[in-house]
Structure formats: structure tokens, C-alpha cells
């Protein structure tokens, strides 16, 4: 009964405290992707390479290119060279063991950092499963089956499901009943798939409706699976585990596609994509929006005098400072080389100038890798009818103005031509 009370706490405010602590800890990790992002991506790439070797797929040195940014020092650098030699000799058994060794230090560092972020209490961050059913007995049955392996959130109706699907921590999978009084499962699934925030969450229908037509309808509107009652617990666990694994792999690939591998910040492609949406929303709702372009001063001299390895470390540290000084809703991206961009929603010119000046001062006051690093800032506020390219170009011109006036300063772009 204690377990069930804990599971139902999300719908019972009196018992919410314990789960609130859990949610806060999980959110703290999700809001700082650069802390864990690089190690997670490296371990993911290692696992992919090992799986490829174990399947007997052809692998050569070209497959190792994506690992280079993560192997800048020993033992990874030495093991990567050894792995390249083993692949050249087609010694696949030894290569698999070498891949394991290559990933081990990062796995240990990842675990240590996770423990530090979570508070050192060895709490495991488990995948989140949202159970949606209006019958408490059905919730209790599924929760009792799954709560040892997953974090459980519950909803007793369709509207509550839509609320929890948008809340942190976001579900990794939703188990959805069909017959509910406020909104049936089919409509809930359709609404989930129509929202950008929830469309990628896999949905499994768990229902007493066992007609083939019902199953076809459920799968056609976006569910990944359809389980009829009465069900085998072992089968339910196996299907959930399969879809959780697929979701995690999909998330990892999506994260790789939108992140800059060196700094962990969003990359240029993601920035352009999200900026177009944010700008459209700003115009529609008549809200201010600012863009700050930042160019690290004299970065070529850092590479020339201290080497590219130190230069990479500088960029990572600069990126960390930028993330620490950003709001959750801000987009911070590496635009290319030593150029970075802040995209600031609901931010007018005065607030944008204050933000840029604060970040500039913090960077100037911080010894980055033991070096005095500064940057030139160009700020532009979105003008009426302006698109992303126009906003970006004006901010870029302001950066050049800052450089021409001595660097390590903030310059505001000229107003956009009418």
C-alpha cells in the first residue's frame, strides 16, 4: 500500500513532497545539458561502435572520425590509436575489448558527475512511465509491476494526461487506456501527436477493447503498440522495455544532431530552425526578442601560442559560462569557430544590453584555462516584419563595430531599415 500511495502522489497534493524533490533533482540535470552531454554522447557512440563490431558489420578507420573530438588526452587518445591499428588488421575480437576499455573512463566520469549532480545519494535516474487510467485498480496493477524499474507518474483521465505529458520530468513512455469519462484515449493520443512538445513520446494503448478494428485505429493515429486485457505481465514488461530503449536511442541521436560536439551547446542548424519559430511567435504575439552575437577576441592567437587543444578547452569553458548566465528559455548556440549566439525570448533592448554587459564582464573577470579571455558583443532587437537572417546580419555588423572600437565591448545594432 505504501508503494501505491507513493505512485499516486502526483494526483494527491498531500503526498507530493517526496516526488517534488525527485522532480527537482531530475530537472537540474535536464537543464544543464553541457555538464553531461559530451560524456553521454561519447558513451553512446562507443556503444554503437561495439554493437556494429559484435554484429560483424564492416568497420574501418573512417568509423572512428566521430570519436576524435572526445579523445584529446590519454587514456582515450592512446586507445583510439590502438583501435585504429586493430581495425587495420581486422582483429575484431581484440578490437571489441579495446572499445570497452576506450569507453570505461568516460563511463566512470559520467557516473561520478551524475552522483554529484544528484546530491551523492546514489539515486538512479530511471526512465519515466506515465500510466493513464480512470480505474485505480488498473493503475495499481501496472504501477506495482513497473515501479522497481521506472519512475511512475499517473493520471486518472485524458486532460490530466495532457498536463503531465508537458511537465518535467517528461515521460519516456505513456501507457494509455481508451475508455475514460472526460476524453477517450484515441483523442488523447491524437492531441499528444499534434504537439511539438509531446509528439515524440511513445504511446502504448492498454485496454479491454480487443477488436482488430480498434487496434488498427490505435496504431493508425500514432500509438507504437496495443496491449489488450487480460495481459501477461512478462509481455507487458518486455514491450515497455523495448519501446523505452528505442526512445532513448532516438533521443540520443536527436541530441547528437542538434548539439555542437565540442562545447555541448546547440549547433548552427538547430539555432536556425528554432529561431525561425521563435521569431514567428514574437511577431504574432507582438513580444520583444533580442539576438546577441559574440566573437571571442584574438582566438587565433590562443591556438597559435598554446595549441588547438588549449583552444578547444577555452571554447568549452566559455560555453559553460554562457550556459550558466542563460535562462531556461534562452537558446545558446555555437554558430561556428569562436562565434556564439544568444537568442533571448521576451527580451527588449534594455534587458538585452544588460544581459550582454553582464556576460561580457563575467567573461573578462574569469581566467579561462589560466588565460585572460574577452569577447566582442553585437546586440540586435527584432524589428517589425524582420526575419532571422536580417536580425543576425545586424547583430553581426554590431560585432564588427565592437571590434573596430577596441574589442571587449557591447555594441547595439542600428535599427533595421523600414
* DSSP letters spanning 272-327: HHHHHHHHHHHHHHT--EEEEEEEETTHHHHHHHH-HHHHHHHHHHHHHHHHHTS-
Domain residues for the domain of 53 are 33-117
Question: Are residues 278 and 379 part of one domain?
Answer: yes
Could you give the CA distance from residue 418 to residue 412 in angstroms, rounded to a whole number?
Answer: 18
Residue ending a domain, among 198, 221, 237, is: 237
Question: Are residues 143 and 104 part of one domain?
Answer: no
Question: Are residues 15 and 53 part of one domain?
Answer: no
- 408: cell is 571587449
Residue ending a domain, among 59, 91, 117, is: 117
Question: Are residues 137 and 21 part of one domain?
Answer: yes
Instruction: Tell me whether residue 249 is in a domain.
Output: no
Please tell me the total number of residues recorded for the chain in this structure.
418
Chain-centroid distance, C-alpha 242: 21
Instruction: Tell me whether residue 69 is in a domain.
Output: yes
Instruction: Tell me whether residue 254 is in a domain.
Output: no
Digit-by-digit pLDDT tens for the chain (418 residues) are: 333 333 333 333 333 344 344 344 333 333 333 334 567 778 888 888 888 777 766 665 566 777 877 777 767 788 888 888 887 776 777 888 888 888 877 776 666 554 444 344 444 578 999 999 999 889 989 998 998 889 899 999 999 999 999 988 889 999 999 999 889 999 999 999 999 889 999 999 999 998 999 999 999 999 999 999 899 999 899 999 999 999 988 888 887 788 898 998 999 999 998 999 999 999 999 999 999 999 999 999 999 999 999 999 999 999 999 999 998 889 999 999 999 999 999 999 999 999 999 999 999 999 999 999 999 999 999 999 999 999 999 999 999 999 999 999 999 998 877 6
Question: Are residues 391 and 310 part of one domain?
Answer: yes
Residue 125 burial (CB < 10 Å; 0-12/13-18/19+)? middle
Question: Are residues 102 and 156 part of one domain?
Answer: no
Instruction: Tell me whether residue 250 is in a domain.
Output: no
Residues contacting 68, CB < 8 A, separation 6+: 80
Instruction: Tell me whether residue 243 is in a domain.
Output: no
For residue 111, what pLDDT is reported?
62
Instruction: Tell me whether residue 41 is in a domain.
Output: yes
Question: Are residues 288 and 229 part of one domain?
Answer: no
Phi, psi (degrees; rounded to nearest 5) at 36: -110, -15
Question: Are residues 137 and 86 part of one domain?
Answer: no
Instruction: Tell me whether residue 251 is in a domain.
Output: no
Residue ending a domain, among 193, 214, 237, is: 237
Question: Are residues 132 and 281 part of one domain?
Answer: no
Question: Are residues 22 and 83 part of one domain?
Answer: no
- Domain of residue 201, CATH code: 3.40.50.2300
- Domain of residue 282, CATH code: 3.30.70.270
Could you give the CA distance from residue 282 to residue 388 in angstroms, rounded to a whole number?
Answer: 12
Chain-centroid distance, C-alpha 32: 9
Phi-psi region of 308 (alpha: psi -120 to 50; beta: other; left: phi over 0): alpha
Residues contacting 283, CB < 8 A, separation 6+: 382, 384, 385
Count of structural domains within the chain: 3
Instruction: Tell me whether residue 351 is in a domain.
Output: yes
Question: Are residues 308 and 213 part of one domain?
Answer: no
Question: Are residues 22 and 38 part of one domain?
Answer: no
Amino acid at each position: 500500500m505504501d508503494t501505491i500511495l507513493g505512485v499516486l502522489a502526483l494526483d494527491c497534493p498531500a503526498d507530493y513532497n517526496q516526488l517534488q524533490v525527485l522532480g527537482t533533482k531530475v530537472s537540474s540535470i535536464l537543464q544543464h545539458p553541457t555538464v553531461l552531454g559530451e560524456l553521454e554522447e561519447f558513451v553512446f557512440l562507443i556503444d554503437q561502435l561495439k554493437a556494429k563490431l559484435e554484429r560483424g558489420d564492416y568497420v574501418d578507420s573512417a568509423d572512428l572520425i566521430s570519436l576524435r573530438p572526445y579523445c584529446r588526452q590519454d587514456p582515450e587518445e592512446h586507445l583510439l590509436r590502438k583501435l585504429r591499428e586493430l581495425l587495420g588488421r581486422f582483429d575484431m575480437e581484440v578490437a571489441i575489448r579495446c572499445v570497452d576499455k576506450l569507453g570505461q573512463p568516460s563511463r566512470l566520469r559520467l557516473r561520478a558527475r551524475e552522483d554529484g549532480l544528484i546530491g551523492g545519494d546514489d539515486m538512479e535516474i530511471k526512465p519515466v512511465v506515465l500510466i493513464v487510467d480512470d480505474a485505480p485498480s488498473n493503475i495499481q496493477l501496472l504501477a506495482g509491476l513497473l515501479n522497481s524499474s521506472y519512475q511512475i507518474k499517473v493520471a486518472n483521465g485524458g486532460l490530466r494526461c495532457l498536463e503531465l505529458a508537458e511537465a518535467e520530468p517528461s515521460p519516456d513512455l505513456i501507457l494509455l487506456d481508451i475508455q475514460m469519462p472526460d476524453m477517450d484515449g484515441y483523442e488523447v493520443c491524437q492531441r499528444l501527436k499534434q504537439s511539438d512538445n509531446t509528439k515524440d513520446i511513445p504511446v502504448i494503448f492498454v485496454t479491454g477493447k480487443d477488436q482488430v478494428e480498434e487496434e488498427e485505429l490505435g496504431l493508425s493515429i500514432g500509438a507504437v503498440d496495443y496491449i489488450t486485457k487480460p495481459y501477461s505481465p512478462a509481455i507487458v514488461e518486455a514491450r515497455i522495455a523495448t519501446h523505452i530503449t528505442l526512445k532513448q536511442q532516438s533521443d540520443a541521436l536527436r541530441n547528437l544532431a542538434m548539439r555542437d560536439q565540442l562545447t555541448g551547446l546547440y549547433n548552427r542548424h538547430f539555432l536556425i530552425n528554432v529561431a525561425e519559430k521563435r521569431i514567428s511567435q514574437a511577431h504574432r504575439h507582438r513580444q520583444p526578442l533580442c539576438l546577441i552575437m559574440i566573437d571571442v577576441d584574438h582566438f587565433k592567437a590562443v591556438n597559435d601560442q598554446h595549441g588547438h587543444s588549449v583552444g578547444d578547452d577555452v571554447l568549452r569553458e566559455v560555453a559553460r559560462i554562457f550556459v550558466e548566465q542563460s535562462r531556461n528559455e534562452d537558446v545558446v548556440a555555437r554558430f561556428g569557430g569562436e562565434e556564439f549566439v544568444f537568442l533571448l525570448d521576451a527580451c527588449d533592448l534594455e534587458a538585452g544590453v544588460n544581459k550582454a554587459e553582464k556576460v561580457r564582464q563575467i567573461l573578462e573577470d574569469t581566467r579561462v584555462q589560466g588565460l585572460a579571455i574577452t569577447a566582442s558583443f553585437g546586440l540586435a532587437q527584432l524589428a517589425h516584419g524582420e526575419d532571422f537572417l536580417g536580425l543576425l546580419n545586424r547583430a553581426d555588423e554590431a560585432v564588427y563595430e565592437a571590434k573596430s572600437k577596441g574589442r571587449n565591448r557591447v555594441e547595439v545594432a542600428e535599427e533595421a531599415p523600414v
